[in-house]
Amino acid sequence: MTAHASDSGIPRRIWKFFASVKLTVGLLLTLAATSVLGTLIPQNADPALYFQKYGEKLFRLFWFFDLFDMYHSWWFQFLLLLMTVNLLVCSVDRLSSTWRVIFPRKPVFNRAQFEKLPDRQSFSVDGTPEELLARYQLLLARRFHYSRLEATADGGVLFAEKGRWGRLGAYVVHLGVLLLLMGGLIGSWAGFEGFVNIPEKESIDSVQLRSSGQPHQLPFAVRLDRFQISFYDERSRMPKEYRSTLTILEDGEPAFTRDILVNAPLRYRGINIFQSSYGQIAPKTADTKPPEAFTLVFTSSASGMVYRQKATIGDEVAIPEGLGSFVVQSFQPAYEFMGHDLGAALVGRLTPSDGQPSEVVLPLEHPNFDKMSARFNQLRTGAVFVAVDDVVRSAPPPERRYYTGLQVTRDPGVPAVYAGFVLILIGCCIAFFISHQRVCVAVSRSRGKRSQVVVAGTANRNKLGIQRRVANLARLMTDSQGGA
């Protein structure tokens, strides 16, 4: 099996370019440098954040070269494609000579090659060359896959070898790397990653693509039947687990229903659906009536003491330990924080004894919000944190529905990537643990009924191992039975 540029119809100059090791090194260095660049520049963030961080000129330059979504850019995919072609051509180019060694019609042995080896074993034993060659041939046949006897004028030469196919290990690794690269390209070209929010009792059949923000149609619809959330404790409202009950709809008819959690996605028709976030939808009728009364909870950072005092809107409350005063000034039916609707909230003014007044927002459904948001308020000293509890309403608040945030992905290149990893592991095992070993045993007539024996061996790797094997063969051949 041979492969040349002329045989395949490819001009020799182009073939040599793609078979160049220099091209391989250059591509590897370029991919490494671009990967570092992709680590330094956050990927797939909000364009407004990029504009604010880098300024208009750098923003336009980075946007032109797709540096904000680098791994899906045309030039990065071109580098991967070039690397794939380079690796394929290099493998084919070098496989032509290796193939003749691995699958020869008749193995070729050169006795002169073995005579020059420094680790030969030479000794003299009783017996004629004919007797010894018969015994040694049986010995080599048990330990090697192939053996052959060639007669000489004064005796004969035995050749044996095994592990020829171990030379394929490097090419199996190359094939695995090719599958990895091809899997990445297939996933980049034919896959997608999107996000969608589904309110309870509603369904969707499209998602918003992460890369472009454009809608992407799904081959089926997804309905959120129920959203469940549990907390470590009701006061902190720290989520412990949230679960979405989804129904897959085919042509409007339910196909099946399944629960998904953060680490337990749903996979259907090559599409993966992950639980990524959740939230609440503000009711159509807002909670416009302020509470009639409530309890303010003050936590001192210095002493850790917690103080509770009942109040209404407009009441100014003195905080113990000389920490100042607090007054609730107004009520907001819907308060938004960093794009999230936190529902109804009280807005107050905290006046420390030795500092400037600052605004404190107390969402009724998030008691510890002040402690969490204090770090964003430069006017807050952090000496005391405020929470609200025991809210008395004139009427129950309107019902708020949950929505689930889903990450929806499709990557048809994943099977190729998995197969590539498996082949790389197999190829490494072959390359490291199987060597091509060749042995030569020359027997020549000596004085009387004695014969001179020379044993030599070579291997494409693990030189120390072949030395031990040659020494072991020599030891077996020098016993009284001649290795029989």
pLDDT tens digits, 450-477: 899 999 999 988 888 889 999 999 999 9
Q: Cα angle at 151 between 148 and 155, to 5 degrees?
A: 120
Q: Mean per-residue pLDDT for 172-199?
A: 89
pLDDT at 1 > cutoff 50: no
- Integer angstrom CA distances of residue 442 from 130, 455, 483: 12, 7, 15
Share of the chain above pLDDT 90, in %: 39
Rounded CA-CA distance 94/89 in Å is 9
Residue with more model confidence, 249 or 370? 249
In the chain, the domains with their CATH numbers are 5-102 (no CATH), 111-163+435-477 (3.30.530.20), 192-285+401-410 (2.60.98), 293-392 (no CATH)
Look at residue 483 in the predicted model and tell me its pLDDT. Answer: 46
Share of the chain above pLDDT 70, in %: 90
Each residue's pLDDT tens digit, 24-69: 888 889 988 888 888 888 877 767 778 888 888 888 888 888 888 8
pLDDT at 408 > cutoff 90: yes
Look at residue 275 in the predicted model and tell me its pLDDT. Answer: 93
Query: Measuring CA to CA, which residue among 168, 75, 139 is closest to residue 429?
Result: 168
pLDDT bracket for residue 354 (50, 70, 90): confident
pTM: 0.61
Enumerate residues 6+ apart whose C-beta is below 8 A from 46. none
Look at residue 90 in the predicted model and tell me its pLDDT. Answer: 84
- Round the average pLDDT of the chain to a whole number and report it: 85
Look at residue 400 in the predicted model and tell me its pLDDT. Answer: 66
Look at residue 484 in the predicted model and tell me its pLDDT. Answer: 45
Look at residue 6 in the predicted model and tell me its pLDDT. Answer: 47
pLDDT at 256 > cutoff 90: yes
Q: What is the 3-state secondary structure (H, E, C) of the chain?
A: CCCCHHHHCCCHHHHHHHCCHHHHHHHHHHHHHHHHHHHHCCCCCCHHHHHHHHHHHHHHHHHHCCHHHHHHCHHHHHHHHHHHHHHHHHHHHHHHHHHHHHCCCCCCCCHHHHHCCCCCEEEEEECCHHHHHHHHHHHHHHHCCEEEEEEECCEEEEEEEECHHHHHHHHHHHHHHHHHHHHHHHHHHHCEEEEEEEECCCEEEEEEECCCCCEEEEEEEEEEEEEEEEECCCCCCCEEEEEEEEEEEECCEEEEEEEEECCECEEECCEEEEEEEEEEECCCCCCCCCCCEEEEEEEECCCCCEEEEEECCCCEEEEHHHCEEEEEEEEECCCEECCEECCCEEEEEEECCCCCCEEEEEECCCCCHHHHHHHHCCCCCCCEEEEEEEEECCCCCCCCEEEEEEEEEECCCHHHHHHHHHHHHHHHHHHHHCCCEEEEEEEEECCCCEEEEEEEEEECCCHHHHHHHHHHHHHHHCCCCCCC
pLDDT bracket for residue 123 (50, 70, 90): very high
